[in-house]
Amino acid sequence: MWQDLKILDLEVTLVAEDELRLPFFRENALRVGLGTSFRQTVCINKKQEACQGCALEGLCAYSKIFAVPSYPYISFFNPDTLAILSPGTPFKLNLRLFGPAVACFPYFYFSLENLAGRGIGLRNSAGKRGRFILQEINAIAPDGRKTPIFTREKETRLKEPRAFTLADYLDSPPVQFLQIKTLSPLRLKYQNHFATSLEFHILLRAALRRISSLYLLATGKKLQLDYNRLVEMAMAVEQVENNLRWFDYQRYSTTQHQEMKLGGLIGEVAYRGEMTGLYPFIRAAEILAIGKSTAFGFGRFKVGIKEGKDVEAGSSCSGEPAP
């Protein structure tokens, strides 16, 4: 099962060419800019506004990535990225591709090159967005080692990166105490409502949905799991620490032409119980991101395995800070 889902984790280094101003919800600007650039890069039927009804619907790279229920990629800026970048300032983003998106990596590269010339972020007084230069791309292995596959100074030819599988990221340690620290809002639904608390079974259900959706995209087959048994196991896990709160971003929807709120849970939560058999699913969700709006950078978190008989109140996992 885990071997069937390919993963290509990329670190992209960019250099601001103009003054570049990022909005507070910067992953929204990244999603809109990347999606627009991707479509303009690969679409051969640009007069048609929507993919629906196109002769190549379901076949072209754009429809496989951006016109599916569960987006097979996530992208996000390094948490240290400044809101205002002066010309010559380097900054980084991560681009993580799953399943069918891995084979489309060259299109992502050209989309970033095209986006660099058009700019990203807020418009300046002249109505233009800040341009940047695509400086370097590194492929990141599961152990954190980085392999350069593109460096502008040395050569412009793109090297073929090595993709791993989800199995390469997973292990099965004994787990009785687990802590989750959000890296971006978790926008999870349970019983048709957005979850305002995060019991362990809600987290697991979201993980199973994401894994199953990507598995279907990658293989064309439904994932065969005993979902009921897994949820029953999760229901027995106790929440022993809850420092979560709801956080809303404000974004402008170009589709609906209005300001919209987009929010989710941020903070930390800890669990106690037998989770050894469930841990691989939570670890997979850490890699893949879960819930609604993953394309906007939502759904990312850091997992920490606690040791000892009790979870210390106020303790935290290492990782990026929540918003």
What CATH number does residue 287 fall under?
A: 3.30.70.1900
The answer to whether residue 323 scores a pLDDT higher than 80 is no
Torsion angle, alpha carbons of 175, 180, 183, 185, to 10: 130
Residues 106 and 200 in one domain: no
The number of angstroms, rounded, from the C-alpha of 40 to the middle of its chain's C-alpha atoms is 22
Q: What is the pLDDT of residues 151-188, one digit of tens each?
A: 988 766 788 899 999 999 998 899 999 999 999 999 99
Residues 263 and 223 in one domain: yes
Residues 100 and 158 in one domain: yes
Residue at token pair 């990166």: 161
Q: What is the pLDDT of residues 60-75, one digit of tens each?
A: 888 889 888 899 999 9
In a domain, 321, yes or no: no
Domain boundary among 146, 166, 186: 166
Residues 92 and 201 in one domain: no
pTM, full prediction: 0.88
Q: What is the pLDDT of residues 190-227, one digit of tens each?
A: 988 999 889 999 999 999 999 999 999 999 899 999 99
In a domain, 11, yes or no: yes
In a domain, 310, yes or no: no
CATH code of the domain in which 43 resides: 3.30.70.1890
Q: What is the pLDDT of residues 227-274, one digit of tens each?
A: 999 999 999 999 999 999 998 887 666 556 667 788 899 999 999 999
Residue 79 lies in domain: 2-166
Residues 45 and 123 in one domain: yes
3-state secondary structure the chain: CHHHCEEEEEEEEEEECCCEECCCCHHHHHHHHHHHHHHHHHCCCCCCCCCCCCCCCCCCHHHHHHCCCCCCEEEEECCCCCCEECCCCEEEEEEEEEHHHHHHHHHHHHHHHHHHHHCECCCCCCCCCECEEEEEEEEECCCCCEEEEEECCCECCCCCCCCEEHHHHCCCCCCCEEEEEECCCECCEECCEECCCCCHHHHHHHHHHHHHHHHHHHHCCCCCCCHHHHHHHHHCCEEEEEEEEEEEEEEEECCCCEEEEEEEEEEEEEEECCCCCCHHHHHHHHHHCCCCCHHHCCCCEEEEECCCCCCCCCCCCCCCCCC
Residues 284 and 300 in one domain: yes
Average pLDDT of the chain, as a whole number: 88
Residues 109 and 190 in one domain: no
Residues 102 and 201 in one domain: no
In a domain, 259, yes or no: yes
Q: How many domains does the chain have?
A: 2
Residues 130 and 233 in one domain: no
Between CA 160 and CA 272 the distance in angstroms is 43
More confident residue, 34 or 1: 34
The answer to whether residue 313 scores a pLDDT higher than 50 is no
